[in-house]
Chains A and B, each alone.
Chain A
Amino acid sequence: DIQMTQSPASLSASLGETVTIECLASEDIYDILAWYQQKPGKSPQLLIYDASSLHTGVPSRFSGSGSGTQYSLKINSLQPEDFASYYCQNGLSAPRTFGAGTKLELK
């Protein structure tokens, strides 16, 4: 199975700041990677797919990048609704595996 290692596990930031979350795959996943956002008490929601493509309706302050085994999610100008947990997901091969998540909290 492909292991997905996310960092940091938690992150404190202020409104308007820019943050970056990292995801490291145990092998090359050829950009077949998704990012999900999960708010407390809610189900995860797809944010980005194929490493850098925004899902329908996702604000442009979110962006994804990376290649090979290293990927990142960047959120520009943090808004109140962005404070949530974020997960990366390997889409290249079964089983589809997830990172352990990053909890983004308001400083």
Chain B
Amino acid sequence: EVQLVETGGGLVQPGKSLKLTCATSGFTFSNAWMHWVRQSPEKQLEWVAQIKAKSNNYATYYAESVKGRFTISRDDSKSSVYLQMNSLKEEDTAIYYCTWDIGTTYFDYWGQGVMVTVSS
């Protein structure tokens, strides 16, 4: 069974940092292209970042709204993907989902999500 479990969310002040972790199981993580997608309090979904597999040189991509502030990374030995979020803004407040696309251009599997609240 495919499982993706996000942790690391919480309440943080503007300008501070937070690191999310997504632990996975049930599939060959080392070959997987992983993403973070977030959902605002207004329920709008927004793709945030992607990291490809080792065979793709771990290429990374970011939404313009987070470029330069967020960093996606992975540890294949732990079947985990991370999202380091720096210089957080109130508009980064959202539920953050870890997702896996099985080689399509869609998000085939999702974690349960983790809440990040940026507020003073």
Q: Report which A residues bind B (CB closer than 8 A).
A: 32, 34, 36, 42-46, 49, 55, 85, 87, 89, 91-92, 94-98, 100-101
Contact = CB atoms under 8 A, between A and B. Distances in A.
Contacts, number: 47
B77 interface: no
B44 interface: yes
A101 B106 contact: no
Nearest to B64: A95
A42 B39 CA distance: 12
B112 interface: yes
A17 B112 CA distance: 30
Interface of B: 43-47, 61, 63-64, 97, 104-108, 110-113
For the residues of A in contact with B, the DSSP-based class is loop
7 contacts: A34-B107, A42-B112, A91-B104, A94-B61, A95-B47, A101-B44, A101-B45
A92 B105 contact: yes
A21 B37 CA distance: 23
B44 A49 contact: no
A91 B106 contact: yes
Given A97-B47, A98-B44, A46 B108 contact: yes
Contact of A87 (B45, B104, B111, B113): B45
Contact of A98 (B45, B104, B105, B111): B45
A45 B63 contact: no
